[in-house]
Amino acid sequence: MKEKVKTTKEMSQRERKLQEIRKKLNRQREELISDAGIALTALPDETTFPELGDQASAEIDRNFMLKLKGRERKLLKKIDEAIEKIDNGTYGICEACGEEINIRRLEARPVTTMCIECKTEQEEEEKLRER
């Protein structure tokens, strides 16, 4: 079976925008990581230490994550999730109502997971709870 590959022409405006957002997220991710003072190239890879295996790389991941501040760590996680969603085609869908999130909102706030209506509603509810 031949797989159909979409050409740029066949891609919708929205899909093209999503790819731009993906690039932006990737850059943001790299900035976050370099801000934490760690160059990815400094991490030993499996070819250098084959005997260490998965456990060691998990260890490195954990140490690395600890060096990031809580807020940055949260953001990095959101960025990772957003990139993953773009890749599997579930990005830009509101978690609460299942509708497509406005592309302009996504461009302004790429890690958002809710449409403006649901987000506003959630914020109102949070305000009520704080009282």
List contacts with Zn ion (CB under 5 A). Answer: 94, 96-97, 115, 118
**Residue 29: enclosing H or E segment and its boundaries?**
helix 13-35
**Minimum distance, C-beta of residue 83 to Zn ion, in the bound complex (Å):** 21
Q: What is the CA radius of gyration of the chain?
A: 19
CB of 117 to Zn ion, least distance (A): 5
Contact 63, 36 (CB under 8 A): no
Closer by beta carbon to Zn ion, 21 or else 114: 114
Closest distance of CB 116 from Zn ion, Å: 8
Angle between helical axes of 70-88 and 13-35 (0-180°, round to 10) = 150
Residue nearer to Zn ion on the CB measure, 81 or 117:
117
Q: Report the residue number, 111 or 118, with the smaller CB distance to Zn ion.
A: 118
Dig out the tokens for 1 from the structure.
């079976």
